Structure 1
C-alpha cells in the first residue's frame, strides 16, 4: 500500500460527521462560524458534538481527510479536540449568544451526566458525607445530575430538616452556566478520587457465589458437595442466598402445582415481567389453562412497570415458597443433590 492509499484508508476510518468536524477545527473560528450558518439545527448539533469529542487525531491522519488545509495542520502536532472556549466563540458567531449557550449547555450537560453516572454505585452515605461541606446550591446541582434512584438514597442520608430546601433548590434548577459546570466537574472528580483512595468496594461473597451457582449449567450438587469439603458453614451461607426467583424454573412438577395455587395471579404477573421465556413456560405449565389466560391478560394489562416493583414481587413469592418449604408443604430444590442406589 502506497502513501496515497494509506491516507485514503485512514480517511475512511472517520465518519462523515467526524470529517466535517476535522475540517471546521482546522478552519478557525470565523470561517467555521460562517459554514455552520448554513447547517440545519440537527447538523449543527451532530457536528459540534463530534468537534467536542475528537481527541488524539494526529496531523498525518488529518491530512488524509483535509489535504487542502495541509499548511494549517502542519503547524500543529495534532488536533486535540475543541475546547469550550473555541466552541463557544464559534457557535456564538454562527448562531448568536442565546442559541450558542443552549447548544453548549446540552453538549456539556451530557458530559456531566455521563461522568456522574460513575458515582451511582458508591455508598449513598459516603456521597452524602462528601458533599456535606459544599454550598447548598452545589449540593442540589450534584443531586440533580445523579440518577434519581441514587439521588434519593443520598438525600435520605442527609439531615432530614434539610431535605425540603435541597428538593426546592433542585425543582428551581433550569440551567447552569459554564463556571458552575466546571465546578461541578471538579467536585465529581474529587469525589471519585476520594472514594478510590479511602474506600474499598464492598461485596457480599456468599450472595455472589449463590448467584453464580444458581446460573451454573454444570452439576450443582457435586459442586456443593465439593464446597462442603472446604467449609460447611460457608455452604450454609451460600444456601441462604440461593433462594433466587429463577430456581423456580427447575422445581419438580408437584412442587410447582402447589406453589402456583398459593400465589395470587396478580403477584405472578408482576414477578414474571421481564423474566426469561424458559422460566415463564415452566411456571405456566403448572397452571390450569384458565389461570394461564388470566396471567397473560394481567401481564398485558400492567404494561411497563418499575423494576423495583418486579423485584419486590419476586421476593414476596420466594418468601412464600421458603415458608412453605420450612412447613413441609413443598420440597424446594435449590440444586439437585447427588443420589445413590
Structure 2
C-alpha cells in the first residue's frame, strides 16, 4: 500500500492522479499539428497510404489538446530523437551483402525476393494510392504481362483483390506470368507509367528497372483468395508448367505456417509423424511452433523428442529442411483426405 504522504501535497490536499502517457499514434498526430503545413506535407509524403489515413483521422481528434499535452509530446519526441542511432543507415545494402557472402548470389537473391520490402520506383508509387477497382480497370485490356508486372509491385492483399476483379481466364494467365516474372525491364515500367499518366495518376518516373515477381509472390496471392479459386488457377498453371505449379504450391504452405493450425489439427498431424521426421524438423523450428507442437503431445513424448533433439547436436541445414518439407507433404495428404484443414484464404462457408 502506498505511503499516505505520497498521496498528499505539501499543503495537505490530495495529489492529482498520475497522468496516463499519451499513446504513440495520438502523440504523432499532435506533433504533426505543430508543424507548418509545408513541413507536415513533407512527412505525409513519405508514409504509406494506410498510415496517412490513420494519422489524418487521429489529427481531427486531438485538435483541441492543451499546453500540458503538447509539452509531453515534445518531451517524448526529444527523448526518442536523443536515443536514435545510425544502425539503420544503409541497412539494405548491409543485409544484402552479408546474405550473399553467407549463401552465394543465387540463394541470397531468392531469399531477398521473399523477405525484402517491396518498392515501386518513380511513377509506380501511384499504384499504392489507387483502389483495386481502379487498378483492375487500368490493366484489364492490357497484355497479361503488364498486369503481372503491376501485381508484382502491389502488396499481396491488394494484388489478390485486383486479380479477382479480372476475368477468370485472365487470372490464370496473369498468375503464371507473375510466377515466372524475372527482372522487370525499364521499358515495361515506362509502359505502366504511361498508363498511369493517361489516367492522371502519376508523373513519369524515369522507368527504372526492378526485380520483382516469382513463385513467392504468386503463392502469397493464392493464399489470400478463396480456396476454390486458388485451386482452379493452380490446375490451369499445372497444364502449362507442372514445375511452376508445384513451386507455387510448395510456397503456399511452408513449415512455419503450421503455427496457424488449431490444436486439434496440429495434434492429428503430430500423431501421424514418426520421431525420425519430427526430430530434425523441430530442430530448425521457431520456439513458438516447437512449443505448440510439444503441447499436442503427451508430456512423456514431448520430453523424449526434446531430449533426442538435444542429443543430436548440430544438424546440417539440408537435413532440417528436407524433414520440414516431408512434414508439409504429410500435412497436405491429410488435408486432401479431409483429416485436417490447412492454408487457404478468403471466406468460404457451406
TM-score interval, normalised by the smaller of the two chains: 0.3 to 0.5
Please identify the structure whose Cα radius of gyration is greater. 1
TM-score normalised by the chain length of structure 1: 0.33
